[in-house]
Amino acid sequence: LGWTRHRLGRNEEALVELLKAAGDGDADGVILEHLGDVYERLGREAEAVAAWKQAAAKFEKSLPDEAERLEQVKAKLKTV
């Protein structure tokens, strides 16, 4: 739901949903990556970087299956 709202440009609503999804402390890398994307869109770069770093750590634990996603997150980290 959060990612759909982000894609519709409703980033404040997306943030609420993604924070709920990430809130249990055991969110997967995809949720954390999407959370970072929404933070970036909202101009909250420090929070975006933190979320992307968490996502990268999750993806690293799932190598080699998540190698492509890990590289995508690393590329995002280089842009901020």
Q: What is the pLDDT of residues 2-52, one digit of tens each?
A: 999 999 999 999 999 999 999 977 899 999 999 999 999 999 999 999 999
Cα dist from 9 to 13, 55, 58, 64, 73, whole Å: 9, 22, 27, 33, 21
CA of residue 77 relative to chain centroid, distance? 11
Q: What pLDDT does 50 receive? A: 97
Residue 65 pLDDT > 90: yes
